Amino acid sequence: MTSSAHDTGQWRPLFNGKDLEGWTHVGPGRFVIEDGTLRTEGGMGLLWFTREKFGDTTLRIVYRAQAQGGGNAGVFIRIPTEPGEPWMPVNKGYEVQIDDSEDDFHRTGVLYSFTKAKAKPQVREWNTMEIKLDGDRTVVTVNGAVVTDFREGDAVPERTKPYEPERGPRQKSGYIGLQNHGDKDVVWFREVSVRR
């Protein structure tokens, strides 16, 4: 099922602020509900939305990271099949990074290690990331600034570290997920919404 079956042009929340209905976690760590938000705890794991795949859609994620650069997480897109563990999405989907302490290929808003940041948006207490999936094109804005504009087939750097994703094309639609990275990397998500 694709998102077009449900969307009417309005933002539709995928996280209800109360529980993990529609979501499943794989891998170490977990997400906990805290004051209507999802908070990462431990990792590296993945909380993924089980009910549908998304393509030709815009996702809106509102998040905040722990102060002093202590936040590291990601939003996974274009996951081709149901993930049974957290590394398949790394290698077969794309991770839209959340981490303001890293270099331009590993910082907030890039497709992790695939794209170079086109901008360094000002960090706010609560940040808004929008990820537009348009066929084989992915556009990521953070707090209104375009950080990534990538189309399948665009040149990408070689993989240089074992934890970087395998190269190769991704599918036009897929499951989405949120990463919990590790004990010291705390990120809160208060909105995960989709609009056709």
Q: For 152, which DSSP code?
A: T
Domains and CATH numbers, the chain: 3-13+23-125+147-156+169-188 (2.60.120.560)
**Closest listed residue to residue 59, CA positions, set 98, 13, 90, 25:** 13
By residue count, the chain amounts to 196
Q: For 117, which DSSP code?
A: -
pLDDT in tens, 32-72: 999 999 999 999 999 999 999 999 999 999 999 986 556 89
pTM over 0.75: yes
Supply φ then ψ for residue 90, to 5 degrees.
-60, -45
pLDDT in tens, 66-101: 865 568 999 999 999 999 999 999 999 999 999 988
